């Protein structure tokens, strides 16, 4: 199989890490599918090279995930690379929600968007990958799923830790068909998500990064791109900490 016909699906691709990842794949000549609930993703895809396409869908709604994957299958007949990146991190006045304060509806929404969506996309993409006997799943976790974090609320941390456990099972189940599954766990990255934190929290967090800066979405895209490549064929079930040194297990 030649690299240039691979189809790469990136969720949450209208902004931040997902957008940088989609750009990375499109520059490599992959057929890149940008999925986001924001309709802006359509204009973004039009500006990318290699005939990138857009899908507008809410990953927190199973019927929309099914419809989106049906479109990928109908259009391309394959899905070689899946990046489960879409995520939310609701803030309370720019900071954390305490467990006692989190409304059940918000807890359920965070679980649906950050974790259940990865399960649904994998459930639908795995048969397409098995048919090719090749696949790459990259799930975006977080430093907040690796250890306690000054900014992560309980629902967010639970989904990001859950993503790691889920990925290990996907790695085991995919391995016989040469499908790898790995996590990237970013530290603080400049994006719309971190822009929602208060200026005090952002300044304190930046000071605590040994490399002395917030990361750029492109820092994460480079790691995702590597994990999605042939060069990473012997890496599976791993977590890549891309965090400027803020967490060194
Ligand atoms: N920015 C950071 O510091 C950081 C750190 C660790 C992990 N992450 C993770 O990286 C991923 C991307 O975050 P980001 O920083 O680029 O944030 P972002 O807010 O810039 O981008 C998130 C994108 O996901 C989309 N999205 C959200 N909910 C969706 C839904 N229900 N359906 C479809 N699309 C949806 C948004 O529209 C947006 O385009 C998230 O999973 C996040 O948890 C980010």
Residues 6+ apart with CB under 8 A from 70: none
| Count of CB atoms situated within 10 Å of the CB of 169 | 13
Across residues 234-239, what is the average pLDDT? 98
Dihedral sign (CA 141, 145, 150, 152): positive
Domains and CATH numbers, the chain: 3-242 (3.40.50.720)
Kindly state the helix (H) or strand (E) to which residue 65 belongs, with its residue range.
helix 62-76
Among this protein's residues, is 214 annotated catalytic? no
Q: Looking at residue 45, what is its pLDDT?
A: 98
| Separation in Å, CA 60 to CA 37, 103, 141, 196, 231 | 10, 17, 16, 21, 32
Percent of the chain with pLDDT over 90: 88
pLDDT above 60 (res 11): yes
* Residue 186 in contact with ligand 1 by CB distance below 6 A: yes
Residues 6+ apart with CB under 8 A from 100: none
User: Could you read off the pLDDT of 68-94 as tens digits, one per residue?
Assistant: 999 999 999 999 999 999 999 999 988
* Residue 16 in contact with ligand 1 by CB distance below 6 A: yes
Query: pTM for this one?
Result: 0.97
> Hey, which of 33, 60, 65, 87 would you mutate to test ligand 1's pocket, going by the most ligand atoms within 8 Å of its Cβ?
87
């Amino acid at each position: 199989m030649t690299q240039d016909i691979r189809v790469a699906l990136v969720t949450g691709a209208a902004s931040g890490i997902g957008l940088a990842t989609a750009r990375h794949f499109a520059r490599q000549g992959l057929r890149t599918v940008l999925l986001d609930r924001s309709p802006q993703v359509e204009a973004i895809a039009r500006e990318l090279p290699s005939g990138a396409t857009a899908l507008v869908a809410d990953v927190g709604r199973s019927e929309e995930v099914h419809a989106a994957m049906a479109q990928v299958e109908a259009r391309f007949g394959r899905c070689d690379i899946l990046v489960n990146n879409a995520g939310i991190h609701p803030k309370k006045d720019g900071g954390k929600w305490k467990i006692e304060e989190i409304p059940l509806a918000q807890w359920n929404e965070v679980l649906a968007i950050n974790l259940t969506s990865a399960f649904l996309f994998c459930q639908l993409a795995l048969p397409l990958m098995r048919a090719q006997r090749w696949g790459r799943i990259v799930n975006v976790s977080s430093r907040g799923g690796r250890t306690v974090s000054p900014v992560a609320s309980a629902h967010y941390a639970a989904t990001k830790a859950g993503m790691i456990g889920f990925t290990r099972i996907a790695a085991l189940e995919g391995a016989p068909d040469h499908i790898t599954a790995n996590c990237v766990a970013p530290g603080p990255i400049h994006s719309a998500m971190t822009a929602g934190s208060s200026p005090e929290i952002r300044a304190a967090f930046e000071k605590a990064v040994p490399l002395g800066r917030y990361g750029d979405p492109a820092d994460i895209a480079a790691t995702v791109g590597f994990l999605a490549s042939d060069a990473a064929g012997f890496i599976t079930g791993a977590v890549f900490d891309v965090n400027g040194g803020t967490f060194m297990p």
